[in-house]
Structures are given as C-alpha cells and as structure tokens.
Amino acid sequence: MKIPIIAAELLKFGELWNLGINDLIREIGSKTLNAAGISSKEIDALYISNAFSAKANNKSLLNSIAFEELGINNSVCISSGDASGAVAIREAANSIMSGKSKIAMVIGVEKVSDVKSNDMALLSSDMIGSSEYFSGATVQSQFAIITRKYFNDFGIGAKNLFFLTAAKHRNAASNEFAQYNFEIDEEKIGSSQIAADPIRMLECASYCDGAAAIVMCNEGNEKRFKGKIQGYFLGGSVANDQLELAKRGSITTMEATVKAAKEAYKITRLNAGNIDLMEIYDFVPIAEVIAVEDMGFAKKGRGIKFVKENTKKINLSGGLKACGHALGATGVRQAVDVIKNLEGKKARYGLAQALAGTGSVSAINIFGNKNA
C-alpha cells in the first residue's frame, strides 16, 4: 500500500481565543484545500477527528459544521479520545484502498479553551474506567500510578526523566506551530508543582486548541498531483485494551501498542529497525518510554536509554508536551510533523503513535517520504 498525501497543514496550537470550533474547521480546511490546489467539491470523503466537542463546545455534529463552513458533503465524525486523529487517518486510507473514494481528507480539530480550568480534568474523565473515575482518578493519576510502578520495577527515579521534557522543548524551539516553542531547563521542570506524584506539572502535556489536516488521493490521481505530493501513507493499525488499569496485565506495558505495532509492521512489511523518525504520544514522559519498548525499539526497562540517545529522532516537533495537546487534532498533527521531516535517504520511514486516555486505544500510522 502506498497512498499519496497531497497536502499536510497545521494551525498553530495554543489558546486560540479568536477561533471557535467552526472557525478552526474553516481555517484549517481552506488552508489545506488551497495547499492541495483543489476545491471542497472534489473531496469525496471527509473524516473529522475530535475528542470533546460535545462536552466542551456543546456541538456533536462536526461533520454538519464542515458542510456549513467548507461545503464538503460526505463526512463522518471520528471520536476516539486522544487517538481520534490517528484513527481517522487510517479510516481515510481505508476508504481510498477500498476504492470508495478518490480524494479523501482528514481534519483533526479541538477547542477546549472555553472550558474552565476546574472542569478540565472532568473532560478527560470519560476516557478512564467508571470505577476509576468514581474513586477520583484522572488520566494523570493513572499515568502517575504507572510511572511509579515503572520506577519501582526498573530502579529509576523521577529525576531520570526531567531531561526528556527539556529535550522536547529544545526540539520545539524552532517549530512555529508549537504552543510552547521555547526551552525550559531541567531544574525548572524538576521543581515545578506536583500534578500527581511522582509526575510534575511541567512534565505533563496540557490540553489546548488546535487543528491539522491532510488530503490523500488514490493511485489513479497520483500523476495529477505529482507536484503536490508531501509523502506517502504506508499502513496503519488500531488496537484496544481494558479501560481500567486494574483489569490489565502488567501496567508497565501498553498491550494495545504491542498489538498495534505488530499489525502495522506486518501491513507495511517494515520493522522497528527501518523507522528513521517518530512522533510518539508523550502525555507524560513515561508514556514515551513505554511506547518505544512496546514498539520494539528497546527492551522492557531500557526505554529511557533509547529515548535519551534519540532525542533528535523522536518528537522532533516537541511532542504533545511542547506543541500542546489538541486531542482530536494531535494524531493528525503527528502525521503532518512526520511527513514534514521525512526527507532524503536518512529519513525514509516515519511512524506516528497515539494512545487514547491511559492506553485503552493505541493507533499507529507509518509514512514514507516522497521517494519511498
């Protein structure tokens, strides 16, 4: 499989006070259609990915809004928490592969800045198990439990991870689309308030507004869009696991990622050794560490060493942490960032991985550069 991506665009992530969710859809939609050089009438399948519009914006029919704002007719909403964007990309690719559509678009969008800070933790409560939520848990608290277990099992301390957040901010310093595109030193990170012990506030990604979009075409249209091709979609997978930590096996492994990686490598006939760069779900530092282990880049317990040695190959954009995490848009942003950075012989294949919540969904997409 090799699906041409003919446009890949971003809006800057952050607190976009002047843009409501309709505006975000319109702005990213028109920017991306312009980049592809086509009108909205040519899109015969649109997948809009979003996590919280029903709660945060009191709007659930984002596909209807896409029709209002962009005139796009054939669209569905994809909702899968923070993995929505990654899942939507796979669905768009499937519609091309099946012959159902010729030119498919994915728009990822999230608008959370209208929500009061008190209610932010409440937004994400629907991504964890109901008995976890009943006891006052949050996505952060569950990741903190995972983090402490990882520290305990592999003899590591919290201070061994501060470098990772600092590295991501260094990467983001040159990314005009990142919300926090400035450096933060380890000392500041390590002395910030505790969010959920042992995770510090400055180590945790924060929810923000944002939008990202890509357009794919079928083989039949590849020649027409030759000058516009940014890269290729080579294959993707989605896998699931239990919502609750209490019902999983070992919590220091994300089973969903293990399954998704296996499947993605199978479809693309690639393996970890072929991957030159990646955008990984780093809601908290340990998520990134565990992800590289689960995807076969390092043995269990040795993930920190791998990420330390590869800060220039992982989350070049700055990751969720430095870009800001616009949930429904993040999976698409990761894809755009992978594609933008894949160039030349040294960067042939790239991978984007996103979890939903604490790992009950894992979605992995693999891309190739223009010459793949």
Partner 1 sequence: MHRKSGALYTRKKKENYGLAGSIKNVHGIIESFTAVYNAPSGFEKHVPYILALIALDNGEKVTAQVVDSKNIVIGMKVEPCLRKMYVDGDEGIIHYGTKFRLVK
Nearer to partner 1 among residue 201 and residue 372 (C-beta): 201
Would you count residue 148 as binding partner 1 (CB under 8 A)? Answer: yes
Distance in angstroms between the alpha carbons of the first and the last residue of the chain? 11
DSSP for 285-307? Answer: HHHHHHHHHHTTSS-TT-HHHHH
Determine which residue in the list 18, 58, 134, 346 makes contact with partner 1, applying CB under 8 A: 134
Query: 355: which 2 tokens?
Result: 């979890």
Nearer to partner 1 among residue 77 and residue 199 (C-beta): 199
Query: 63: which 2 tokens?
Result: 């596909």
Nearer to partner 1 among residue 144 and residue 363 (C-beta): 144
Residues 212, 213, 215, CA angle at the centre, nearest 5°? 165
Residue 126: CB minimum distance to partner 1, A: 9
Burial (Cβ within 10 Å: 0-12, 13-18, ≥19) of residue 118: exposed
Determine which residue in the list 41, 64, 187, 246 makes contact with partner 1, applying CB under 8 A: 246
SS3 call for 166: helix
Nearer to partner 1 among residue 39 and residue 250 (C-beta): 250
Nearer to partner 1 among residue 63 and residue 147 (C-beta): 147
Nearer to partner 1 among residue 129 and residue 319 (C-beta): 129
Stretch that binds partner 1, among 18-26, 243-251, 269-277, 298-306 (CB under 8 A): 243-251
Would you count residue 347 as binding partner 1 (CB under 8 A)? Answer: no
Stretch that binds partner 1, among 89-97, 137-145, 271-279, 363-371 (CB under 8 A): 137-145
Residue 136: CB minimum distance to partner 1, A: 4
Residue 208: CB minimum distance to partner 1, A: 16
Selection from 239, 213, 167, 218 nearest residue 331 by Cα: 213
Instruction: Give the Cα separation of 2 and 234 in Å (integer).
Output: 5
Determine which residue in the list 45, 146, 327, 336 makes contact with partner 1, applying CB under 8 A: 146
Q: Taking the CB of residue 71, how many other CB atoms lie within 10 A of it?
A: 12
CB hemisphere CA count around 247 (13 angstroms): 13
The residues of the shown chain that bind partner 1, judged by CB under 8 A, are 118-119, 121-122, 125, 129-138, 140-142, 144-149, 152, 193-199, 201, 244-247, 251
